[in-house]
Amino acid sequence: MTFYNFEEIENKWKDKWFSDNLYEAVDFSPKPKKYILAEFPYPSGAALHSGHMMRYTVPDVYARYLRMNGYNVLFPMGWDAFGLPAENYAVKTGIHPAVTTKKAIDAMKQSLMRMGYGIDWGREIATANPKYYKWTQWLFLKFYEHGLAELKEMPVWWCEALKTVLAEEEVLTDKDGNKISERGEHPVERRLLKQWVLKIPEYAEKLIEGLNYVDYPNSIKQAQINWIGRSEGAEVDFHIKGISEKVRVFTTRIDTIFGATFIVISPEHQIIEKIVTEEQISAVHEYMRLASQKSDMERTELAKDKTGVFTGAYAINPFNNEEIPIWTSDFVVMSYGTGAIMGVPAHDQRDFEFAQKFNLPIIPVIQPNDNNQPMLPFDGEGILISSGEFNGLKSPDARILMTDKAQNEGFGYKKINYKLRDWIFSRQRYWGEPIPLMYVEPDGHIEVETNLPLVLPDVPDYTPTSDASAPLARNQEWVNTISPSGKPAKRETNTMPNWAGSCWYFIRYLDPNNDNEFADMEKMKYWLPVDRYFGGAEHTNMHLLYSRFWYKFFYDIGLVPTPEPYQWRLNGGLLLGADGRKMSKSLGNVVDPMTVVENYGADALRLFICFIGPYEDTYPWNENGIKATFRLINTIYDIRNRVSENIENNELKKAFHKMLKNITDMTQDLKMNTVVSEIMIFINESKKVEKIDKELWMEFIKSLAPFAPYLAEELWQEVNGFKEWKKESSVHLQKWPKYDPEIIKMDQITIPVQINGKVKDEVLINALDTEETVKQKVMESEKFQNAVEGKEIIKIIYIPNKIFSAVIK
């Protein structure tokens, strides 16, 4: 067998492809466009990792397939270049994040090229480039101008020792249950801080509605709908006994309000200080302190034992004037609804548990429709009882009438709430886009920086300062400025989150060098929306939702041409270590793609990733699997020695066209694993013939090109006898071969014969046989005759060319 020197051959073609930008996407080409997008990588320390090759290989194959089918394909790549790891590294070493990021980008770009991904590198972007983030800042200002960005008190994890805000993942719990910082293990607590937020809940309805018009898997749509968490209900005011205050609660079950036997308010609720009684004040304060140690998640865990403290105050139920106690408990959180609920223990699981724990009365007010005595708590719908004038009403009707009453009498109204919260958009970090706003003296009013980009300045030290402001505050020369209105001002020192740049990067690929606009409208009209968007499942409720939000807002203010950014979406799976566990350095099961490329070549690796299974699933790495595709590559390369002109091999030709039909359909459906199987089947057939016809071989090479681009290029150049590289003669710019349905048409087919659902025989038929003819052939069969001997045939089902089924008695 000839040795296939993959290293030499792959590097040769890689250099030629990319120096000629073979995979260029042409603006306004008359060809139909396809925009194939895969989430751009964060350029972290080392280089390409296994997740990237899982993410990009199938999209690349598909993009190549479309290109060969006459589409003007845009398959771009860029860098999500701002982020925490580079900054943390800078804090430790003092090396500027721009330096480490640049290094990582260079290494990763080389790796992506080496994998043979057909990227148009002429459109490369990086979010940390001032030419790019100029427009991120400009777009942020659109949110600000339209009232969708504002300063708000938001609860965040605060570490007093580090003088900084921490992310959820930077907070650990020690063995006594106390919250500590990952770095330094200092105490941490929840604290309210002024943060810039983007008001994504204002787009909740549009984000749900838009899902009707896009082609996402149901699981993604459902995940976003659940995350947005729309619920219809009512807000109702309860007056507080003895003082002129009221507490507002949100409920989806106003029909159960006659069963309310207590009120629970969140420990952060501002009304606490006004209503708490002398006797209860110290207990309440201690409880508030404990609650600040917990995350929302811990507070709301289902299995948790209920805790709480009585405030000493009583509320008055506006429907029946009952006086009910007001408690505070951490299972009620401030970030949802009004931060206060009415406790209806007979009809809500959590309220029931709370009432049992603290001996509060339980009053059933809903009777199930079937009149059976329900087990409490009963949270279903039913008929109202013990509810005064509303007795006998059904739950849904009661909700309408009771909400109307509240509205008419001014103590409540209909309300739709969302779980979706304001998106905290400021970070007390260095390595991000500066927020282009300033606080103008003397009154501190906000003015907009008009001279963009507002470039991220150098600082002497990347650690945060002591007053909860970002490292940028260390550069006083930069902080102190003159506002556009000519007054002294201090710049905002918080930066934007990593998500900012990735919210609109797919737009910038369309016009990456435009200094006058974030992108030209005509180019956007040509390319948008994205036809296929490949990414990670972990981004379903973050990046994917955030960027839809940005885009929908831009659409509303006329900046972009379509209501949705991504027409289609698929989440990809992971590659696990050979031990079936997530790859991690500590487990020592990390597979480095470039090491695999060195050992087996990029084509073998690409084929392996295709072959391993469907794109969206997760698999363990298997060294033997890649040996199989490596073998396939070598076998194909070996077969070229048997290519000759004017060879008649009809059977092989038939096998080829069969394969071609299958892989054409499968590639369209992104079923790359079965494509590789089909190629293997054809190659197994090819091994059996002595000589292969050159024409047939050339067709095969073209069909191989999207999957094993290097080998295909090598074989194509060789079989054509090209001496010199010319971009136009690359196999990747050829037309995808067309299968001939005549050749694969089966004249004779064996179909199974079933009797009472069991296969009893097979019969050879002609493809064009009528049902009558087939029936006759079956009747002639000896096995069939034996089986029906003395029985009555009651039914015959014939599915043309598939199956013959008889029912006998």
Partner RNA sequence: GAGCACGUGGCGGAAUUGGCAUACGCGCACGGCUUAGAACCGUGUCCGAAAGGGUGUGGGUUCAAGUCCCACCGUGCUCACCA
According to DSSP, the residues that pair with 76 across neighbouring strands are: none
For residue 179, give both structure tokens.
């919250």
Instruction: Closer to RNA by CB, 137 or 540: give it.
Output: 540
Give yes or no for residue 356 binding RNA (CB under 7 A): no
Instruction: Closer to RNA by CB, 673 or 734: give it.
Output: 673
User: Judging by beta carbons within 10 Å of its beta carbon (0-12, 13-18, 19+), is residue 379 exposed, middle or buried?
Assistant: middle
String of contacts with RNA for each residue 776-805, x by CB under 7 A? -------------------x-x-x--xx-x
**Binding residue for RNA, selected from 508, 671, 702, 777, defined by CB under 7 A:** 671
String of contacts with RNA for each residue 673-712, x by CB under 7 A? xx-xx--xx--x--x-------------------------
What b/e sequence results for 51-78 when a residue is b if at least 16 CB atoms lie within 10 Å of its CB, and e otherwise?
A: bbbbbbbbbbbbbbbbbbbebbbbbbbb
H or E, element range at 191: strand 189-198
CA 683 to chain centre: 38
- Name which of 287, 278, 271, 406 is nearest 338 in CA terms: 271
H or E, element range at 765: strand 758-766
Give yes or no for residue 615 binding RNA (CB under 7 A): no
State how far the Cα of 201 lies from the Cα of 205, in Å rounded to an integer.
8
- Name which of 322, 324, 321, 329 is nearest 313 in CA terms: 324
Rg for the chain, CA atoms, rounded:
34
State how far the Cα of 119 lies from the Cα of 123, in Å rounded to an integer.
9
Choices 37-45, 134-142, 392-400, 757-765; region in contact with RNA by CB under 7 A: 757-765
Choices 92-100, 175-183, 300-308, 382-390; region in contact with RNA by CB under 7 A: 300-308
Give yes or no for residue 622 binding RNA (CB under 7 A): yes
State how far the Cα of 323 lies from the Cα of 313, in Å rounded to an integer.
10
Instruction: Closer to RNA by CB, 107 or 807: give it.
Output: 807
Give yes or no for residue 612 binding RNA (CB under 7 A): yes
State how far the Cα of 325 lies from the Cα of 345, in Å rounded to an integer.
13
Give yes or no for residue 381 binding RNA (CB under 7 A): no
**Binding residue for RNA, selected from 209, 301, 598, 651, defined by CB under 7 A:** 301
Per CB under 7 A, contacts with RNA among 4-43 are none
Instruction: Closer to RNA by CB, 723 or 809: give it.
Output: 809
Q: What amino acid is encoded at 78 in this protein?
A: G
Instruction: Closer to RNA by CB, 139 or 355: give it.
Output: 355
CA 234 to chain centre: 32
Nearest distance, CB of residue 745 and RNA, angstroms:
14
Give yes or no for residue 299 binding RNA (CB under 7 A): yes
Choices 73-81, 457-465, 599-607, 750-758; region in contact with RNA by CB under 7 A: 750-758
String of contacts with RNA for each residue 169-208, x by CB under 7 A? ----------------------------------------
Choices 42-50, 346-354, 584-592, 720-728; region in contact with RNA by CB under 7 A: 346-354
Per CB under 7 A, contacts with RNA among 123-162 are none
**Binding residue for RNA, selected from 142, 419, 487, 727, defined by CB under 7 A:** 419
Per CB under 7 A, contacts with RNA among 493-552 are 537-538, 540-541
**Binding residue for RNA, selected from 23, 611, 700, 784, defined by CB under 7 A:** 611
Instruction: Closer to RNA by CB, 218 or 476: give it.
Output: 218
Instruction: Closer to RNA by CB, 551 or 630: give it.
Output: 630
Give yes or no for residue 664 binding RNA (CB under 7 A): no
Cα angle: 597, vertex 599, 602; to 5 degrees = 25
Give yes or no for residue 470 binding RNA (CB under 7 A): no
Q: CA dist 493 to 195, 424, 431, 483, 712, Å?
A: 11, 15, 12, 15, 53
Size of the site for RNA (CB under 7 A): 87
Per CB under 7 A, contacts with RNA among 260-279 are 266
Instruction: Closer to RNA by CB, 111 or 805: give it.
Output: 805
> Do residues 309 and 247 make contact, with C-beta atoms less than 8 angstroms apart?
no
User: Judging by beta carbons within 10 Å of its beta carbon (0-12, 13-18, 19+), is residue 673 exposed, middle or buried?
Assistant: middle
State how far the Cα of 671 lies from the Cα of 114, in Å rounded to an integer.
24
String of contacts with RNA for each residue 322-341, x by CB under 7 A? ---------xxx-xxxxx-x
